[in-house]
Structure 1
Amino acid sequence: MRKVLFIFGVLNDSDIDWMARAGARRSIRQQEVLIQEGVATDAIVLVLQGRMAVSVAGAGEIAQVGAGDFVGEMSLVDSALPSATVAAKVESVALFLDKQMLLRKLAADNAFASRFYRALAILLSDRLRATERRMAYGEQDSGLGDETTRLKDELDPAVLDQVSIAGERFDRLLKLVEHVAMKDARS
């Protein structure tokens, strides 16, 4: 849930509403591949429930991501092909945001773009720091470990101010996505 704080502490309610409306909710089977290393993807994926394994050819599983985490965001930022494969470790649910639709929204809405890219920057910074810790100290941090053992100052103070609202926003997104999915199923 730590990732939720990064993303939803920066985004606002209208951003959450747009993502819920624009995204496609999908159930993911265990071991289903969402992103294949070296193969272009047309979506950025927000994990709503479950857990995903991130693996790299020749190295195996290098990390795990869970609820509130984006995957496929690096290819959105730099347009390079995915550098890792992402597959569900358990039955999961994810919100797929079409990359072209998201890029159009980012180009048309500067305020949203600022918040969205800031959220991604904070998320990517956290991942880089976790990688540095593993390399420097040999820690085996899957990214889903005991978050209470991490230092308080690892979170941006501006994000800390938004902790409770971030959790509420993520819960709101879950409800909105479920509502949209039920509405679509009826039509």
Structure 2
Amino acid sequence: MKKVLFLLGHLTDLDIEWMIHNGSKKNLKNHEELISKGEEIENIYIILSGKLSITDGKQEIAAIGPGEIVGEMSFLESRAPSVSVIAAEETVVYSISRAVMNEKLDTDLEFRSNFYYSLALFLSNRLRKTTNKLGFESPDEEDMIDTNVLDGVAQAGARFSQILNKFSEV
């Protein structure tokens, strides 16, 4: 859940409303592939319920659940993903297309700034966790959250609830 806080905590209420009205809900069946390794993707996703498995094709790398974001690296780099993402159970995701996001990013500089800043925080946190797992960081810092993120945590939680309520059939 912490991952979505990076994104939603730095956007405005109007940005969240815009996202709700310009995205959609996607239901995945158990074992259904959301993202295929090496194939271009056109969406960025937030998991609303269920669980996804990140795999390199041979083994599971990670399992992620509600509040996690997927497709952000391919969104940023416009490169095909280096992993596959498969539903480990029935899962519901929020989906917004790259084309719609790019149009908003091109026309709304405040949204653009907040969106990219939040993704930078999100990816920085992911890298810290990875280096910690490899034994290069203090275990005391494993679950620390930057004060820049903490400032928006309550609001981000409320915004995630707002997205869940919009797609209340979850």
| TM-score (normalised: structure 2) | 0.90
Note the C-alpha offset of 1:93: 0.7
Cα displacement string for residues 110-167 of structure 1 (whole angstroms, at most 9, x for unaligned residues)? 1111111111111111111111112226xxxxxxxxxxx9748721102112221111
Q: Which of these residues, 153, 170, 173, is aligned with residue 163 of structure 2?
A: 173
Q: Is the 8 A contact 2:132 2:142 kept in 1?
A: no
Note the C-alpha offset of 1:4: 2.6
Q: Counterpart of 2:31 in structure 1: which amino acid?
A: Q
Instruction: Indicate the residue corresponding to 1:94 in structure 2.
Output: 93
Counterpart CA distance in 2 for 1:90 and 1:150 is 33
Q: Is the 8 A contact 2:44 2:96 kept in 1?
A: yes
Instruction: Indicate the residue corresponding to 1:67 in structure 2.
Output: 66
Instruction: Indicate the residue corresponding to 2:20 in structure 1.
Output: 20
Tell me the secondary structure at the aligned position of residue 25 of structure 2: strand
Note the C-alpha offset of 1:103: 0.9
State the aligned residue count: 167
- Give the direction of change, closer, same or farther, for the CA distance of 1:17–1:72 in structure 2 (3 Å limit): same
Q: How much identity, in percent, do the aligned residues show?
A: 38
Q: How does 1:45-56 map to 2 (within 5 A)?
A: 45-56=45-56
Counterpart CA distance in 2 for 1:152 and 1:129 is 8
Q: Counterpart of 2:135 in structure 1: which amino acid?
A: A
Instruction: Indicate the residue corresponding to 1:145 in structure 2.
Output: none
Q: Is the 8 A contact 1:7 1:68 kept in 2?
A: no
Note the C-alpha offset of 1:81: 0.8
In terms of fraction of residues, the more helix-rich structure is: 1
Note the C-alpha offset of 1:57: 3.4
- Unaligned ranges ≥5, structure 2: none
- Cα RMSD (Å): 1.9
Q: Is the 8 A contact 1:17 1:176 kept in 2?
A: no
Counterpart CA distance in 1 for 2:118 and 2:109 is 14
Q: Which of these residues, 147, 150, 154, is aligned with residue 144 of structure 2?
A: 154
- Unaligned ranges ≥5, structure 1: 138-148, 182-187
